[in-house]
Structure 1
C-alpha cells in the first residue's frame, strides 16, 4: 500500500474511532448502528475504507482493556493503543505502517511484536509489559468468571445455521460454503466460512435454513414444543426462537408471539410469512400483568428475558465496556417482574422456560431459585434437557467452549396442580 494512503487511512480511522467511543461508551449506542449511520451519511467512504475502519474499531473494542493496561498514561484513543490492538489481531504490516508513522513507532519493534504466539503476548512485546489475561474483561467482573471466558470472548464469532434438511451441507457446497452438523444437535450446522453473505442465497430465501446461534437454538430445544401444543413466546424480540418453536410443532400447533415492541413483531411476522408459517402477534409489556384471557392458557411459555447480553460479548465486544454491576442488577429486577407475570399464562401441567444470554448468576440461577421460593406450584423439569451431556438437569448453561458459540442460560420448569391452601402467598 502507498505509504501516504496508509497514513491517511489511519488518520481517518482514528477520527472515526474517537467518534465511536463518544457514541458507544458515553451514549450507549451499538457500534454496528453507529457505523451504519456514519457510512450512510458520509458517502466518501468506499467499500475498502468501510471494511478497514470497521476492522479497526472492532479490534480496538475487543482488545480495549488490554491496550489500556499496556498504555495507561495516554489519552484514549492513543495511536500506540490502537496499533497494539491491530498487532494483537495480526494485521498485515501494510495496514499497520500508517499507524507506525502516525505514532512515530519503530518498525522493528512492531515486527518483533507480530512474532508473538498469542495476542496478549504480542501486546506485551509491543508495550514492554506483561499483560494480564483478565484485562480483556471489565474490571468489575475480574476474579468472578470462569477464566475461559477471557480467552473465548476474544475469538471471532462463528456463524450457526438451523435447518431440518440433512442434505443442507451438499446444497450449500455448490456455493463454496462449508457447514458441519453438531454431533448432538443435528439441526445445528456450524459454518466454516468467514465473511460470507448467507442471506442472498436461494436456499435462505426459500426457507431451507435460518441463521441462529447454537446457544440460541439450545434455548428453543429446552422448550421441546410438540405438534398440537399452544405456546406463548413472551419476549419474542427478533423472533429466532419463535420460528424455531413453529418448526418444532410442524405446523400443527398454535403460537402467540408477544413483545413490548410492535415494530419488532411486524418484522417477525414477515419472517414467518417467508417461511410459510402462521403466527399470531400481540403487543404486551411483561413488566405489567398479562390480560386475564391469557391466564392459565398455554401448554408452554418461553420467557427469553431482556438481560445484560453478556453472553454475546464475543459478538458485540463494545457492549462489555457499556456494562456495569449496577446495570446487571437493574436487569435482574426487570426479569423478576417479567417472570412473575409470564408464569400466570402457564396452565397446570404446562412448561415455563426462562432464558437469557447472560453469563451472570444474578440473572440466571439466582433468578430461578428466587422464583421457585415463591411459587410452590412450579418445579424444575428434567425432561428434554439432555443437550450437551448425559446429565439430566432442569437448567442448562451453554458456554462458548461448548460449541464455538455465544453463551446462554435456560431453565425448564413445570407447573403442577396444588390445592389452594398449599400455595404460598403471592407477592
Structure 2
C-alpha cells in the first residue's frame, strides 16, 4: 500500500468507516506516518459524528496495540503479507470493538467481515470471520494478560525505560498513559477575563472545572466542538493543556523584555507569553519548519496578537540572529513527546529507542546555542513534553555542571537539588507529562 491507497474523494456511506480506519492504522504502523498526516485526509469525507468515530477507533487500537497483537498471534497461524497485510489491522480493529467498545457482537463481526471487500482483500473474508468468532468463543478478552509490558499498552523499549525511571510509579503511570485526556482551555486575558468567560460558558450549559495553579486555565468536563464555544472567532480562548500553560508563567516575561520562543510551533506558548505581557520590546517565534509556522500565524491572527516569525535552524544563529542578546528565552526543545502519548497514542509506535540519544544530543546543541545568545542576568526556561530523565533532569544536570555561569531558579516549592526542575507526569492534576527547568545566567 502507499499514500494513494487512501482515497480523499467525498463519501457519505458509513460502510467505508471500518476499511478506512484499517487503512489509517496501516499507514501509521507499517509506513510510519503520523496520525496527524493521514487521519484528517480520511476524516474530511465524513460527518462530524463519523469523524469522531474514526478517531476513537484508530486511537483505541493504538492505545491497546500490544494486547491486540497478542490475541492476533494466538489466533493467526502465520502473519499476512503484501497486499493482505492491511487485513491484520482490520482484524485488530474488530478485536478492539469486541473487547473495548459497546458495539454489538453481530455488528462488530459482520461489518468487519464486509470491510474486506472495500479493502480488496475479499479472499480473506472467511479467515476474518473465523478469527473474530474464535475470539468470541475463546473469550480471549476475559483472560488475564500475564506480561506487564503487554498490559501497559507500551512498546518494549519504552516500558523498560519507564520501569527503570519510575519503578514505584510504573503501574499507575502506564494506566494513566492509556486514558483519554481532558480538553483544557486558556482564556485570553487580553480579550476577556476568566470569570466573564466562565459566565458565557455557563449560559450555554458548558460545564468546566477550575485549576488553582492556572490563572488562565479551564478544564472542560466533556468533549465539545471547540469552534462552537462562545468567543472562538473573537479570540477569547485557545486550546492548550494545563502543563503547557505553565510555560508563560514560569518564563515570567516583563515589560520591555526581548523574548525568544525557540521551537515555537504551533504557537500556543508564544501566544500565552504575549497575552500575559503585551508590552514586550519584541517577541520572536523561531521554528526550523516554515510550514509549521503557518499554525503560529493562524493562532496569532485569531487571538489578535503579534510576534516576529522566523523560519531557521536555531543552532545556526548567523542565519537569523541580529546579535542583540535576549532577556528571556523559552526553549521548548525537540523531544520524544512521551508525556503526551495519551493525547497522541501513535507516538508510541512512531518513536524508536534509538531516537532518544539523537534527541538528547540535539537538545544539548540547541541549549548551548540559546545560552550563548542570552543576556547576563537573563532567564532561560527549558521545557519538554517528555517524561524520560535523559531528556530532562539529567540533561539539565549535565548543563549545570558544564556551565558555571548557570544557576537553577526553582519553578515550584519542591526540592530540585538532585533532580533539578519540575517533572509533571501524565494525569498529574489532569495535565499532560511535561518537564521544566528555569536557568539564570550570572
Q: TM class by shorter-chain length? A: 0.7 to 0.9
2:237 corresponds to 1:209 = yes
Aligned pairs (5 A) from 1:36-51: 36-40=40-44, 43=45, 48-51=49-52
Which residue number corresponds to residue 97 of structure 2?
Answer: 86
Q: 1:397 to 1:108 in 2, by over 3 A?
A: same
Which residue number corresponds to residue 216 of structure 2?
Answer: 187
Q: CA RMSD of the aligned region, Å?
A: 2.9
**In 2: Cα distance, 1:326 partner to 1:105 partner:** 35
**In 2: Cα distance, 1:293 partner to 1:56 partner:** 46
State the Cα distance separating 1:352 from its structure 2 match.
0.8
**In 2: Cα distance, 1:103 partner to 1:314 partner:** 31
CA contact (8 A) 1:237 1:259 kept: yes
SS of residue in 2 equivalent to 1:362 = helix
TM-score scaled by length of structure 1: 0.81
SS of residue in 2 equivalent to 1:72 = helix
CA contact (8 A) 2:25 2:58 kept: no
State the Cα distance separating 1:138 from its structure 2 match.
0.7
Cα deviations by residue, 1:91-142 (Å, 9 ceiling, x for unpaired):
33265353687534788985996xxxxxxxxx641xx342544320111122
| More off after superposition, 235-244 vs 83-92 | 83-92
2:255 corresponds to 1:234 = no
Match of 1:400 among 416, 426, 430: 426
2:316 corresponds to 1:288 = yes
Aligned pairs (5 A) from 1:253-264: 253-264=281-292
Which residue number corresponds to residue 57 of structure 2?
Answer: 56
State the Cα distance separating 1:265 from its structure 2 match.
2.8
CA contact (8 A) 1:296 1:348 kept: no
Which residue number corresponds to residue 37 of structure 2?
Answer: 33
State the Cα distance separating 1:210 from its structure 2 match.
1.3
Aligned pairs (5 A) from 1:269-418: 269-290=297-318, 294-295=322-323, 297-382=325-410, 385-386=411-412, 390-391=413-414, 393=416, 395-416=421-442
**In 1: Cα distance, 2:132 partner to 2:336 partner:** 41
Q: 1:110 to 1:172 in 2, by over 3 A?
A: farther
**In 2: Cα distance, 1:32 partner to 1:252 partner:** 34
State the Cα distance separating 1:157 from its structure 2 match.
1.8
Which residue number corresponds to residue 96 of structure 1?
Answer: 108
Cα deviations by residue, 1:226-285 (Å, 9 ceiling, x for unpaired):
233221111111100001111121435531111112333344234223323231222220
SS of residue in 2 equivalent to 1:236 = coil
Match of 2:181 among 154, 157, 162: 157
Gaps in structure 1 of 5+ consecutive residues: 1-7, 114-122, 417-427
CA contact (8 A) 1:301 1:351 kept: yes
TM-score scaled by length of structure 2: 0.79
2:28 corresponds to 1:24 = yes
Gaps in structure 2 of 5+ consecutive residues: 1-12, 80-84, 114-127
